[in-house]
């Protein structure tokens, strides 16, 4: 169940700044009511408990804000906090990039195995089709001695060739689908003004 919070209330609950929450609301990452729609002219955010938990700053990420509005940190402390925060964010981004790279490598390997298997099937069916075509050519040239045997062979060859062609078309379609099903590797880097 979602609850409406003002920006100040949401900032206290999540540990984020009111400006960060306002930007997320404006980008559509958080649902809410704009200042023009509310009766008192304040932005209200619609947040569930799960969203609040996701938005809360982890304990290992340093808070780069002073504890109270009147307390100001020295420039050295602020810079150290900012550096710590950026190091944590960089480590997270690198870990995320590594996970995405591993997933893309696994998908690429699976696609390559599927293509190799389809190539083997395709070669086997192509050989069968060539054998049937050669047998059909022999029947047409009259190398078969009995007319009944020749007619039966022609029917069997026709059935086999249409079946093999359908199977070959199916393999080609699966191979094409396997080649296009792997999404391209994309990197999502987000820079928030740093």
- Read off the pLDDT of residues 97-128 as tens digits, 9 standing for 90 and up: 888 899 888 888 888 888 888 888 888 878 87
- The b-or-e profile of 7-17 (16+ CB within 10 A means b, else e) is bebbbeebebe
Looking at domain 1-60, its CATH class is: mainly alpha
The domains of the chain are located at: 1-60, 104-181
pTM reported for the whole predicted model: 0.35
Quote the Cα angle for 34-38-42, to 5°: 65
- Within 8 A by CB and 6+ apart from 101, the residues are 185
| pLDDT(137) > 70 | yes
DSSP conformational letter for 130: H
- Within 8 A by CB and 6+ apart from 32, the residues are 4, 25, 43, 44, 45, 46
Tell me which of 16-25, 103-112, 126-135 is least confident: 126-135
């Amino acid at each position: 169940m979602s609850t409406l919070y003002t920006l100040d209330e949401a900032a206290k609950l999540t540990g984020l700044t009111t400006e960060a929450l306002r930007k997320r609301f404006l980008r559509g990452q958080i649902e809410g009511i704009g200042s023009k729609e509310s009766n008192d002219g304040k932005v209200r955010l619609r947040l569930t408990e799960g969203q609040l938990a996701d938005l809360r700053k982890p304990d290992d990420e340093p808070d780069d804000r002073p504890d109270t509005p009147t307390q100001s940190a020295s420039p050295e402390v602020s810079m150290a906090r900012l550096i710590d925060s950026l190091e944590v964010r960089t480590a997270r981004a690198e870990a995320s990039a590594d996970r995405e790279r591993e997933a893309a490598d696994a998908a690429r390997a699976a696609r390559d195995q599927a293509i190799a298997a389809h190539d083997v099937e395709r070669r086997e069916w192509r050989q069968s089709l060539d054998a049937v075509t050669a047998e059909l050519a022999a029947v047409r040239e009259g190398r078969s001695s009995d007319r009944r045997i020749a007619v039966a062979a022609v029917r069997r060859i026709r059935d086999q060739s249409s079946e093999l062609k359908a199977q070959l078309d199916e393999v080609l379609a699966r191979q094409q689908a396997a080649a296009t099903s792997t999404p391209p590797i994309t990197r999502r880097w987000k820079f928030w003004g740093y």
